Structure 1
């Protein structure tokens, strides 16, 4: 049993990582900017400490005593993610932890030239490995749990529309955050994953109309595929974060999200597609769930606990 510190414990990704660590028998330290983080009523975390990405004096004390650190970089800090991630990894090494596991929340290219977070992922991975900390990186391509957020769920539940900026031809291996957490947990006991990275996605490669059809089956009535533009999506996503995103960052973040999804729709590299045969060969212990299986077990109600951005 290891003690694992989870950065970003109050977000959807961190909460899923905490669930999977606890389910596997590990002790969990929840890290966030609050002394009393909102974990949605979960008692899966054994302790909590303060971690502020923009206050480096909090980093090493937050990590000290933990065997491993799970890291998810916040959306609001997109521009300097490579530099910050590398410095966080160095702090993990300084604290004496045995493993740093980063979930990039996006695809990792296998050659240079891709823009946005994709190219930054490569730079950040280099920074991590150069820090000297034993590390594993997972490139999770697109989250099923995005459908539960304030920029997607209300349309599905209240208007019977699947609103997303994906064009009808776009293929994607949607993955659940619980499965991302399972991959990160599995890497803890896998020495062959030290010093490596792997793109991960769900077992199905779906077009947007197939996503809508799956949701229709789960809800028992038609959910219409009704795509928005990348520009509209950028505004929806920024609006969903509310006060969590400073006013001065909103316009640039919205424009960046719009450009990101414009690229995703047309890129020949298909950054939402994963070689699932290779992934499953590397992670035979993880049973990945389908979109239908994931959607059936969610609480879609307005009363459910909603982390930042829903």
Structure 2
């Protein structure tokens, strides 16, 4: 099995390399920067320099590929470019007879367009993939545990023993580890019975803010309390990383949650049914925190 991975330089797809290698796959990892070559090679992949906006390059690197683990870059200056980039990959895969595409959507897909470019583009990509004639599996993860490593959260844990996140304390979330999502992606590639499937995946525990802090505390062996961060504070911290417009858009979303009477679902209670088709050993929040304690606590 020869697998081409997009997004492997980031935390969401990096673990696809190791999971695929454990299955005996040959892994090629596309990257837009040669600076990533050494890290990708050390993980066991063959790096290839490629930009998603280059149609000819997509045709070149998908030749001889059996399956693609795909992801749209998270922080595109223009989110609508994500659709064109996806089309380039899907068209190249079809032209070269790639057997399957497994797409990690980086979030649950909305039922209809909501005016958010990042969310709306996912619907366009989903339609294009479904109508491509290719075998596909769509993996829709909920919120990543790795988000807590961000600049808006980790320093609060290190300095104040507060787990800062801009969701209301009462809002439950089924946090999921990125390595679990990568395992789902690889299992979907290898399951020949899955040819036109979508799975909304989450962690097995639906944790409100205080529950999240409690499980995190168990993992690192220190008392951590939940801090429902103000959306503006969150946006100000995020601004240097994604720009003012991007930060304002995300902050506005969290502001709407603060004022909501009902919260959007971020948890799938039917994960056991999915695990029957895609057998993955799930990581609890406490286990994840224990594994990453050194990142948060000196």
Taking structure 2 as the reference length, what is the TM-score of the superposition? 0.88
Q: Which stretch of the first structure deviates more once superposed, 83-92 or 290-299?
A: 83-92
User: Any gaps of 5 or more consecutive residues in structure 2?
Assistant: none
Deviation at 1:44, TM superposition (A): 2.8
**What's the counterpart of residue 272 of structure 1?**
266
1:101-122: per-residue Cα shift (whole Å, max 9, x none)?
Answer: 110011123x335453444323
1:146 equivalent in structure 2: 147
Which segments of 5 or more consecutive residues in structure 1 lack a partner in the other structure? Answer: 305-310
How far apart are the structure 1 equivalents of 2:53 and 2:13? 18
Is this contact kept in 2: 1:218–1:296, CA < 8 A?
yes
Alignment of 1:11-26 (within 5 A): 11-26=10-25
Deviation at 1:225, TM superposition (A): 1.2
Displacement after TM superposition at 1:201 (Å) = 0.6
Kindly indicate whether residue 67 of structure 2 is the aligned counterpart of residue 68 of structure 1. yes
Match of 2:174 in 1: 173
Secondary structure at 1:75's aligned position in 2?
coil
2:279 pairs with 279, 285, 306, which one?
285
Within the alignment, does 1:57 sit opposite 2:56 as a pair?
Answer: yes
1:238 to 1:136, Cα distance in 2 relative to 1, 3 A:
farther
User: Alignment partner for residue 297 of structure 1, among 288, 291, 296?
Assistant: 291
Shift of 1:229: 2.1
Contact 1:198 1:279 in 2 (8 A): no
Q: Find out whether 1:112 has 2:112 as its counterpart.
A: yes
Distance 1:224 1:180, change over 3 A: same
Q: Compared with structure 1, are the counterparts of its residues 169 and 14 closer, same or farther at alpha carbon in structure 2 (3 Å cutoff)?
A: same
**How much does 1:214 deviate?**
1.5
* CA displacement, residues 36-65 of structure 1 (integer Å, 9 cap, x when unaligned): 525647623331111212333322222222
The CA deviation string for residues 49-103 of structure 1, in whole angstroms up to 9 with x for no partner, is 1121233332222222221111121122233434432332222222332111110
- Secondary structure of the 1:28 match is strand
- Residue by residue over 1:203-252, the C-alpha shift from the partner in whole angstroms, topping out at 9 and shown as x without a partner, is 1000011111112222222212112222322332343x3xxx5xxxx111
Tell me whether 44-53 or 169-178 shows the greater mean CA deviation: 44-53
Shift in CA distance, 253/191, structure 1 to aligned 2, threshold 3 Å: same
Tell me if the contact between 1:10 and 1:38 (Cα under 8 Å) persists in the aligned partners: no
Alignment counterpart, residue 259 of structure 1, candidates 229, 246, 252: 252
Q: Match of 1:223?
A: 224
* Partner in structure 1 of residue 42 of structure 2: 43
Cα separation, 2, equivalents of 1:140 and 1:267:
24
Give the TM-score normalised by structure 1.
Answer: 0.85
Q: Distance in 1 between matches of 2:278 and 2:138?
A: 17
Contact kept in structure 2, 1:68 and 1:97, CA below 8 Å: yes
Q: Which moved more, 1:185-194 or 1:280-289?
A: 280-289
Contact 2:27 2:45 in 1 (8 A): yes
3-state secondary structure, aligned to 2:34: coil
**Residue pair 1:153, 1:300 contacting (<8 A) in 2 also:** no
Deviations 1:112-152 (A, max 9, x none): 35453444323221011222222111110110111123332
Structure 2 CA distance for aligned equivalents of residues 92 and 261 of structure 1: 37
RMSD: 2.6
Q: Deviations over 1:154-199 (max 9, x none)?
A: 2212331111101011111101111101111111122332111110
**Change over 3 Å in CA distance of 1:257–1:163 after alignment to 2:** same
How many residue pairs align between the two structures? 294
User: In the superposition, relative to structure 1, how do residues 157 and 118 fare at CA in structure 2: closer, same or farther (>3 Å)?
Assistant: same
